Structure 1
Amino acid sequence: MIEVSHLVKRHGPKVAVRDVSFTARAGRVTGFLGPNGAGKSSTLRILLGLDSADSGTALIGGKPYRTLRNPLRTVGSLLEGSGAHPSRTARGHLSWVAASNGIPRTRVPEVLDLVGLGDVGRKRVGGFSLGMNQRLGLATALLGEPEVLVLDEPVNGLDPRGIRWLREFLRSCAADGRTVLLSSHLMTELASTADDLVVINNGAIVHSGTTAEVSAGHTSLEDAFFALTGTEDR
């Protein structure tokens, strides 16, 4: 599971994350939501070892990300697109990532087919659309068959068919006992995909619980979000 405990991160005088604690459990999809600038990205970057906390811990399976050996075999992540160089082919990018984490190259065509890029694996990434680039990022996250997935706005650029595929895929991952932490601005997607929700605003957790618990007393998750974050009139 993912365990974030009393996490604090400052950027100069600004406190980006203040005493953030939450758990994302195995076998469940946990939605992580908040307005822009709420502290979501800072929290995820610390969790994935891309930044350091001033205090507190962010653990995956009881360990900091930076201590994981061949981390893609444990955690698959998507933060900002695929990260592939435009001059590389999709297959070449994934082959390099696989080699760096001790993953058999036979996984490359498997994940390309899984995300719907099997027919364009030999094309250069620079010619990819936003949606194709997002699918390549998902393929990279899935390359090591990880038990934990951390995805930030994974449906960005996907068409309706791709969004439905991803929703069903993430639900199947949870059903298989994997841990899925999903950050998104799309309330309808979170309402239909997430088992649990963690709501962050101004760097602090303002509510957490099952999707039904967070939505209770409101006509929709969107209404609950606006009420909890006070952002409806902004």
Structure 2
Amino acid sequence: MIEITGLTKRHGRRTVVRDIGFTALPGRVTGFLGPNGAGKSSTLRVLLGLDFADAGTALIAGKPYRELDRPLRTVGALLDGGGAHRSRTARAHLSWVAASNGISRKRIPEVLELVGLGEAARKRAGTFSLGMAQRLGLATALLGEPEVLVLDEPVNGLDPEGIRWMRRFLRSFAAEGRTVLLSSHLMSETAATADDLVVIDRGRIAARGTVAEITGGHAGLEEAFFALTTGTDGGRTR
């Protein structure tokens, strides 16, 4: 699972994440919500070893990301699109990633088919639509058959059919006893996909609990979100 405890992150004199903590459990999809600038990206970057915390810990399967042996076999991540070089084909991109983590190339056609890119294996990433790039990013995340997925706006650029496919895939992934941490701005989709929610606002945890617990007393997740992050509820100020 994912365990974040007492995490603090500063950029210069500005504290962007302040003493936050939450868990994302196996067998469940955890939605990670917050306004722009709330600290979501900073939290995910520390979790995935792309940045250092000033205090606290962020653990995946009991270890910091930097201490994982062949990390793609433990955690797959999709941040800021797929990250593939524009001149590389989908298959070449996955081949390079597989080699870097000791993953058999036999896995490449499997993940391309899984994400719906089987017929695009020889196409260059620079020709991909935004939705195709997202699918390639997910294929990269799944390459090592990880137990944990960390995804930032995974349905960005997907059409309605792709969004529905992603929802079903994440639900089935979690149903196998694996862990999903999902950051998104799409309230209705998050409510339909997640089991648990963590809401962050101005660098602090505003709420955490099941979807039912967070939305209780509200018309839906969007209303609950604005009540938690702006202090308003149906036009009333708290």
Match runs of 1:192-203 below 5 Å: 192-203=192-203
- Give the residue type in structure 2 aligned to 1:165: W
Q: Which residue of 2 aligns with 1:85?
A: 85
Rounded to whole Å, the distance in 1 between the matches of 2:227 and 2:13 is: 28
Deviations 1:132-172 (A, max 9, x none): 11110000001111000000000000111111011001000
Aligned residues with identical type, % of pairs = 75
For 1:110 and 1:174, the matched residues in 2 are separated by 19
Shift in Å at residue 231 of structure 1? 7.1
Q: How far has the Cα of 1:127 moved from its partner?
A: 0.6
TM-score by length of 1: 0.98
Corresponding position of 1:47: 47
The one-letter amino acid of 2:41's match is S
| CA separation of 1:106 and 1:225: change in aligned 2, threshold 3 A | same
Where in structure 2 are the equivalents of 1:19-30 lying within 5 Å?
19-30=19-30
What corresponds to 1:137 in structure 2?
137
1:156 corresponds to which letter in structure 2?
Answer: N
Give the paired residue count.
233
- CA apart distance, 1:13: 1.3
TM-score by length of 2: 0.97
One-letter code of the match for 1:166? M
Residue in structure 1 matched with residue 109 of structure 2 by the alignment: 109
Residue type of the partner of 1:183? S
Unaligned runs of 5+ in 2: none
Q: Give the 3-state SS of the residue equivalent to 1:219 in structure 2.
A: coil
Deviations 1:61-111 (A, max 9, x none): 110000001100000000111111000000000011001101110110110
Instruction: Give the 5 Å matches for 1:80-229.
Output: 80-229=80-229
State the AA in 2 paired with 1:163: I
Deviations 1:16-53 (A, max 9, x none): 10001000000000000000000000000000000000
Distance 1:135 1:44 in 2: 20
Pairwise CA distance, 1:189: 0.6
5+ long unaligned stretches in structure 1: none
The aligned amino acid for 1:62 is G
- Runs of 4+ in structure 1 deviating by more than 3 angstroms, as ranges, are none
CA distance in 1, matches of 2:141, 2:162: 16
CA distance in 2, matches of 1:20, 1:153: 21
2:207 match: secondary structure? strand
